[in-house]
Amino acid sequence: MKKFVFIISAVGFCVILFLGALFLSSEKKNSQNTSLIFLPTPTPVSFSIQGKGQDLKIVSVSPADGTQNIPSHQKITIKFNKQVTSSDIAISITPSISFTTSFQTDTVIVTPTDPLIENSQYLLFVRVKDEQVYTFTYLTPLNPSVNPPDNMQEMERDTAKNNNPDQYLRLFMPYSTNSFAVYSDYSYDNPPHYYFIVTLLGQDENLGKSDFISWVSSLGLTRNQISSLDIQYQKSATSE
């Protein structure tokens, strides 16, 4: 009887060893098969910040801002801190004149194709990536054969009022009363122009609009001129 039990035990032990070896072999094969389906690690994608508005800056301009007596076909050279393309910037000149722009790596050259008018002030606007606007002022020489009248400044205002009401109204910015506050900004839309943000104060928005129109009329602009202006109304945060 003992001999029979011993044989059964030996056989059982051998079966256990066989099953254990079979299990380990299966696990090894599964492990090998699993390693075959591992995907390679993807290569990281790097995004360039070249040309972003907050990084692209003007480092110099020639002639310098505020230069007087510039020639009638004066080229303006604008140098940036890195390479610049036409998609990075927008350029406008007021009073409006025709001009060309050429891009040379980190430099832009603005060339008037119309002669600049004597006795005039020109503003060059350079908007960088919709985030920052640079403004440069230039004065053309006085015509030596013409003595400017004493009321030259008033005449220039009258000229702006009659021909460019947006430029005229900008001279009075910013302005505020109890019912409205207004400031101006520059748009590069075609045609480039100044537009006006009017914040309506208090609960009566119609009163604020009426007071603003009355104030603009008091400056001498006609109803048609006011209608031609780009006016944008908004509520004040405290009135909402």
The CATH number of the domain where 68 resides is what? 2.60.40.3710
Let me know if residue 46 belongs to a domain.
Answer: no
Let me know if residue 40 belongs to a domain.
Answer: no
Of 89, 116, 146, the position where a domain reaches its end is: 146
- Residues 124 and 66 sit within 8 Å (Cβ to Cβ): no
Strand extents, DSSP E, 41-150: 58-62, 76-80, 89-94, 99-104, 107-112, 121-128, 132-139
pLDDT reported for residue 72: 87
Same domain, 98 and 24: no
pLDDT reported for residue 175: 85
Let me know if residue 43 belongs to a domain.
Answer: no
Same domain, 169 and 142: no
Closest CA to 203 of 156, 176, 177, 235: 235
Let me know if residue 41 belongs to a domain.
Answer: no
What residue type is assigned to position 239 of the chain? S
Let me know if residue 172 belongs to a domain.
Answer: yes
Same domain, 63 and 140: yes
Let me know if residue 48 belongs to a domain.
Answer: no
Same domain, 130 and 174: no
pLDDT reported for residue 4: 46
Q: How far apart are CA 191 and CA 184, in angstroms?
A: 16
The three-state secondary structure class of 218 is helix
Q: How far apart are CA 118 and CA 122, in angstroms?
A: 10
Total domain count, the chain: 3
Same domain, 66 and 138: yes
Of 146, 176, 195, the position where a domain reaches its end is: 146
Let me know if residue 152 belongs to a domain.
Answer: no
**Domain limits for position 223:** 164-239
Let me know if residue 37 belongs to a domain.
Answer: no
Give the pLDDT of the chain (240 residues) as one tens digit per residue: 544 444 445 545 454 555 555 444 444 444 343 333 333 333 332 223 333 445 888 999 999 988 888 888 899 999 999 999 998 998 888 888 889 999 999 999 999 998 888 778 888 888 888 677 888 888 888 765 555 555 555 666 777 778 888 888 888 878 888 888 988 888 777 788 889 999 988 888 899 999 999 999 998 899 999 999 999 998 876 555
- Residues 195 and 228 sit within 8 Å (Cβ to Cβ): no
Torsional class of 74: left (φ above 0), alpha (ψ -120 to 50), beta (otherwise): beta
